[in-house]
């Protein structure tokens, strides 16, 4: 279970998180929605220790994330980055097997390659792409490779940062389905940040809306349409009018 | 207030430079700390040896060759004013080995290697590849900085040694081909005049310059701003810092090594 308690983070005078409280139960898929620049990525990166909160506590299974042994802690996570964040200098299979080629999860090279090809198949890519470089792939294929890398070491917790940004609707649907299947199949705890409402409906068990540095609304995805929360209503229906000010 | 504005600007810039030096010093200490603690990424180190050392050979060789040739012409023209043309081999040798070889190679490495490291790492920063490394339980300093800095520290002195030889050879070709020097006499004078200390100083300078060049590339790359502008600024700043620090270190090392 991941718990954020009264988490604050500011960058200079820009107060991004102003007391975020959120609980993600084990094995659930939580999707965080909110406008651009509302701190969704900061919240996610704070859990991983990529950003240090100014105050508040973040725990994973009761352990304070600032006091854990980093390698063992990070070995529990997989993450799909918005742009894929694939390493340009490595081939596709080396990207996927990155964690299996070094560190505490190191395996023999042949075994690591076999696992990488298996994970590539799992995300719908043929073994022929294994020896290509990321620059030789389309955006959708890069996302799939990023997804394969995120699940390669079979993590307990998977984070998805804007998984469908920049993809056409059909490819976005394919990625959403894959994420849902994989999360269910692995029994992993998932946290996704997105503005794409089709992703929310496809991936989420629960939804949390981040606005003005706090969680504005949280609840099961089934309750989202009847929440009665004006902020959430405006966001999910994409209305220009409402309590959320749109910069024109 | 207007009268004090230049003083305020000077103060701000001075504080900025001192703060940057402080941050670079911390980065240097962290780099050395990571160099002596496992894990070590040997494959990345091997790759860095190739890209920093081997692939810099053509540019270093050409630079040294033309510098040696030009030096011979200059010394000949200058020494002719007091009929001392015979010192050309000795001055070319000592000039290349003690000063021009290390400084020229250092600056070429700053141009070629520092810029490339900074641009590569800054792009990795901007495209979240550095964050991805962290989430994959890999320390970016160990994976990116240590192999590059160590490779530059080892290969740049070798490049300097090769540059010294090529530079002297450039001077030799000009002197024997254009200035009518006897080839055997030229070579004898060169070899007799150079001392082990000259060569040692050249290699020490090369090691220090290599370290500085790679460290600046890594530091500015890791601390890059966002977007294409951030990458461009990181690259430009890294080369400027490396060039200035290399020339400052050159002065300091010359002062220390040839104090007597």
Domains, in order of start, for chain A:
1-68+191-248 (3.40.50.300)
| B1 pLDDT tier (thresholds 50, 70, 90) | low
B140 → chain A, closest CA residue: A50
In this prediction, residues A241-245 reach a mean pLDDT of: 83
pLDDT reading at A247 higher than 60: no
Residue B127 phi, psi (nearest 5)? -95, 15
> B135 vs A98: CB contact, 8 Å cut-off?
no
Residues of A in contact with B128 (CB under 8 A): 81-83, 85
Give residue-wise pLDDT tens across range A124-147. Answer: 899 999 999 999 999 889 999 999
At B3 the pLDDT is: 81
Is B86 contained in some domain?
yes
Is B54 contained in some domain?
yes
Q: Tell me which residues of chain B have a C-beta less than 8 Å from any C-beta of chain A.
A: 39, 41, 124, 127-129, 131-132, 134-138
Residue B139 phi, psi (nearest 5)? -75, 120
Distance, in Å, from the CA atom of B224 to the CA atom of B238, rounded to the nearest integer, reads: 10
Is B10 contained in some domain?
no
In this prediction, residues A84-91 reach a mean pLDDT of: 94
Is B124 contained in some domain?
yes
Longest dimension (CA), chain A: 57
Of A50, A88, A99, the CB nearest to B136: A99
At B97 the pLDDT is: 96
Mutate one of B38, B131, B132 to test the A interface: name it (highest A CB count within 10 A).
Answer: B132
| A36 pLDDT tier (thresholds 50, 70, 90) | confident
Give residue-wise pLDDT tens across range B90-146. Answer: 999 999 999 999 999 999 999 999 999 999 999 999 999 999 999 999 999 999 999
pLDDT reading at B29 higher than 70: yes
pLDDT reading at A246 higher than 70: no
- Please state the ipTM of this predicted complex: 0.88
In this prediction, residues B185-189 reach a mean pLDDT of: 95
Is B20 contained in some domain?
no
The four Cα atoms A80, A83, A87, A88 give a dihedral, to 10 degrees, of 150
Residues of chain A numbered 132-151 and touching chain B (CB < 8 Å): 149
pTM score: 0.89
pLDDT reading at A149 higher than 80: yes
Q: Which residues contact A185 (CB under 8 A, 6 or more apart)?
A: none
Number of domains in chain B: 1
Give residue-wise pLDDT tens across range A153-211. Answer: 889 999 999 998 888 888 888 889 988 988 898 899 999 999 889 999 999 999 999 99
Is B19 contained in some domain?
no
Domain span including residue B93: 42-257
Is B49 contained in some domain?
yes
* Look-up of token digits 């070579």: B187
């Amino acid at each position: 279970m991941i718990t954020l308690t009264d988490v604050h983070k500011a960058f200079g005078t820009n107060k991004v998180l102003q007391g975020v409280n959120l609980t993600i139960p084990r094995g659930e898929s939580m999707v965080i929605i909110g406008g651009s620049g509302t701190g969704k990525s900061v919240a996610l990166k704070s859990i991983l220790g990529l950003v240090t909160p100014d105050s508040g506590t973040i725990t994973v299974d009761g352990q304070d994330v600032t006091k854990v042994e980093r390698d063992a802690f990070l070995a529990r996570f997989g993450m799909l980055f918005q742009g894929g964040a694939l390493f340009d200098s490595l081939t596709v299979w080396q990207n996927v097997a990155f964690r299996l080629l070094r560190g505490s999860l190191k395996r023999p090279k042949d075994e690591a390659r076999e696992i990488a090809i298996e994970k590539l198949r799992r995300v719908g890519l043929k073994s022929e792409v294994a020896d290509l470089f990321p620059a030789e792939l389309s955006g959708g294929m890069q996302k799939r490779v990023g997804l394969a890398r995120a699940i390669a070491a079979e993590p307990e917790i998977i984070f998805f940062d804007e998984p469908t940004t920049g993809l056409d609707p059909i490819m976005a649907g394919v990625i959403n389905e894959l994420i849902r299947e994989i999360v269910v199949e692995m029994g992993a705890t998932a946290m996704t940040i997105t503005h794409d409402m089709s992703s929310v409906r496809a991936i989420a068990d629960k939804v949390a809306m981040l606005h003005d540095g706090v969680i504005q609304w949280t609840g099961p995805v089934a309750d989202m349409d009847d929440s009665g929360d004006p902020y959430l209503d405006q966001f999910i229906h994409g209305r220009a009018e409402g309590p959320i000010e749109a910069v024109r | 207030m207007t009268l004090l504005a230049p003083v305020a600007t000077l103060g701000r810039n001075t504080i900025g430079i001192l703060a940057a030096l402080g941050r670079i010093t911390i980065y240097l200490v962290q780099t050395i700390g990571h160099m002596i603690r496992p894990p070590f990424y040997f494959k990345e180190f091997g790759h860095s040896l190739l890209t920093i050392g081997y692939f810099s050979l053509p540019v270093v060789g050409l630079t040294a060759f033309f510098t040696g040739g030009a030096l011979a012409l200059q010394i000949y023209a200058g020494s002719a004013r007091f009929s001392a043309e015979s010192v050309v081999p000795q001055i070319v040798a000592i000039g290349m080995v003690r000063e021009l070889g290390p400084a020229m190679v250092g600056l070429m490495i700053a141009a070629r290697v520092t810029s490339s490291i900074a641009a590569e790492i800054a792009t990795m920063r901007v495209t979240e590849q550095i964050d991805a490394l962290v989430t994959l339980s890999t320390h970016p300093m160990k994976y990116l900085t240590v192999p590059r800095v160590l490779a530059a520290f080892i290969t740049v002195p070798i490049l300097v040694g090769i540059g010294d030889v090529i530079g002297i050879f450039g001077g030799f070709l000009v002197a024997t081909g254009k200035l009518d020097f006897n080839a055997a006499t030229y070579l004898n004078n060169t070899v007799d005049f150079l001392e082990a200390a000259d060569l040692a100083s050249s290699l020490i300078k090369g090691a220090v310059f290599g370290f500085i060049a790679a460290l600046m590339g890594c530091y500015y790359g890791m601390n890059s701003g966002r977007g294409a502008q951030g990458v461009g600024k990181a690259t430009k700043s890294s080369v400027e810092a490396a060039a200035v620090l290399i020339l400052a270190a050159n002065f300091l090392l010359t002062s220390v090594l040839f104090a007597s």
